[in-house]
Amino acid sequence: MPMLDAFIPEGALDPDAEKKLLSRLTDLLLEHEGADPTNEAVRSIAWVFLHRPQVYVAGSEADAPRYRFICSVPEGQYDDSRREAVTAAMTAALAEAEGGAFPHPEARVWVFTNEIPDGRWGALGQVVRLPDIVGFVAGDRGREDAQRRLAERRRAEAAAVLEAAREPAVA
């Protein structure tokens, strides 16, 4: 259930290129979340919110478009390698959409990959947890996998806290 806030200045991209980009970004989010982007149930809960910012750099209007993509996924969907991969893929997709119209697109794209803590998603007027979301998409087996993934994440986090507590303080 990824959500994407795409901040793209008005007129920065050709309208057709922008539509293709937003579709591609949806696919990338789903792929890097571990979901099948061709699954219609999955696609139905992958939303993109397009924002039209006016961007200033150092107090002056930007000389080339700047982009910001804020990816939000349920806790347990990302690890460091997935974060790096989705950031690189989204940056490359934006560069392709610009088609060389401006130099150095990689320097003008920011990607933020946020995991929303379990129990903090709200939909259908209620709290929706990762096992509920995955269960919607993949049935009972998916629900069980999501519960296992969250339990493993909790154990790893607890182990890291314990390990940090054992480390001697550096003066």
**Is a pLDDT exceeding 80 seen at residue 1?**
no
**How far is residue 19's CA from residue 68's CA, in Å, rounded to a whole number?**
16
Tell me the three state secondary structure of residue 35.
coil
Q: DSSP letter at 170?
A: P
**Is a pLDDT exceeding 80 seen at residue 171?**
no
pTM as predicted = 0.84
pLDDT at residue 161, as a whole number: 85
Domains defined along the chain, listed by start: 3-116 (3.30.429.10), 123-171 (no CATH)
Sign of CA dihedral 68, 16, 88, 155: positive
Q: What percent of the chain has pLDDT over 90?
A: 61
Instruction: Write out pLDDT tens, residues 77-112.
Output: 888 999 999 999 999 999 999 999 999 999 999 999
**Is a pLDDT exceeding 80 seen at residue 45?**
yes
The Cβ-side half-sphere exposure at 129, using a 13 Å CA radius, reads: 11
**Is a pLDDT exceeding 90 seen at residue 125?**
yes
Q: What percent of the chain has pLDDT over 70?
A: 98
DSSP string covering 86-138: HHHHHHHHHHHHHTTSSS-GGGGEEEEEEEEPTT-EEETTEEE-HHHHHHHHH
Q: What is the mean pLDDT of residues 139-168?
A: 82
Between 135 and 48, residue with greater pLDDT:
48
Question: What mean pLDDT, rounded, does the chain reach?
Answer: 91
Q: For residue 58, what pLDDT band results from cuts at 50, 70 and 90?
A: very high
